[in-house]
Amino acid sequence: MVAHRPDALPPPRLVRREDAVELARLYRRQRAYLAPWEPDRADRFFTEEGQLAEIDGVLSRHAREEALPLVVAHPDGSLIGRVTLSGIVRGAFQSCSVGYWIAEEHAGRGHATRALRWAVTMAFDELGLHRVQAEAVPENLASHRVLTRAGFRRIGLAPQYLHIDGAWRDHVLYQRLRGG
């Protein structure tokens, strides 16, 4: 018999419009923590209305099978992060990118690794994708460790890949392949 871990996360679930209030609060609390790793965000993003707009947009992409936007919940049900499969491309490519974050007060406990593994399993088993790509700025050592623990392999460096924290930043590229 396997003992239940009290800190074990439930699987990530699809984001819902009802999450807007809690996500707005969570993003406001995590704003400074996430700033070095995320695009610049207008103040509206951190409001309930801004989160409703974000959720509506990503659910629209989900309906077109272009994204899988998930929330990560603590065992007590409160939201502690996000993991999103985006840029889903079919045809010969069968690929997507994944982005994720866990609230600072929950970091370092394996939650990001577990959420990322679940998302990758969904990408391969439910969506039938062949490849999942992830990117991290070179300085984000915690993210590099999460990606490695989740089975991603480094595949290169993309100069000036994304506009993050006010500048075009290099990113280390990682991937996971189905069955590999």
Share in percent of the chain as helix, strand, coil (round to 5): 40, 30, 30
Range of the domain at 50: 13-130
Residue 126 lies in a domain: yes
What pLDDT does residue 144 have? 97
> pLDDT band at 7, cuts 50/70/90?
low
50 found inside a domain: yes
Query: Has residue 7 been placed in a domain?
Result: no
Tokens of 132: 């999942």
pTM of the model: 0.92
Least confident of 76-80, 157-161, 162-166: 162-166
Q: Which residue has the higher pLDDT, 93 or 7?
A: 93
pLDDT digits 0-9 by tens, 100-142: 999 999 999 999 999 999 999 999 999 999 999 999 999 999 9
CATH of the domain at 102: 3.40.630.30
Percent share of the chain, pLDDT over 70: 96
Strands 131-136 and 95-102: parallel
What was the pLDDT predicted at 4? 43
In total, the chain counts a number of residues equal to 180
pLDDT per position as a tens digit, 25-57 = 999 999 999 999 999 999 999 999 999 999 999
In this structure, what are the phi and psi dihedrals at residue 11, rounded to the nearest 5 degrees?
-60, 145
> pLDDT value at position 3?
40
Work out the average pLDDT over 51-73: 98
How many independent structural domains does the chain possess? Answer: 1
Residue 22 lies inside a defined structural domain of this protein: yes
In contact, 118 and 128? CB cutoff 8 Å: no
81 or 9, which is more confident: 81
Q: Per the domain annotation, does 163 fall within a domain? A: no
Q: Is residue 54 part of a domain?
A: yes
- Within a domain: 71: yes
Question: 90 CB contacts (<8 Å, ≥6 apart)?
Answer: 65
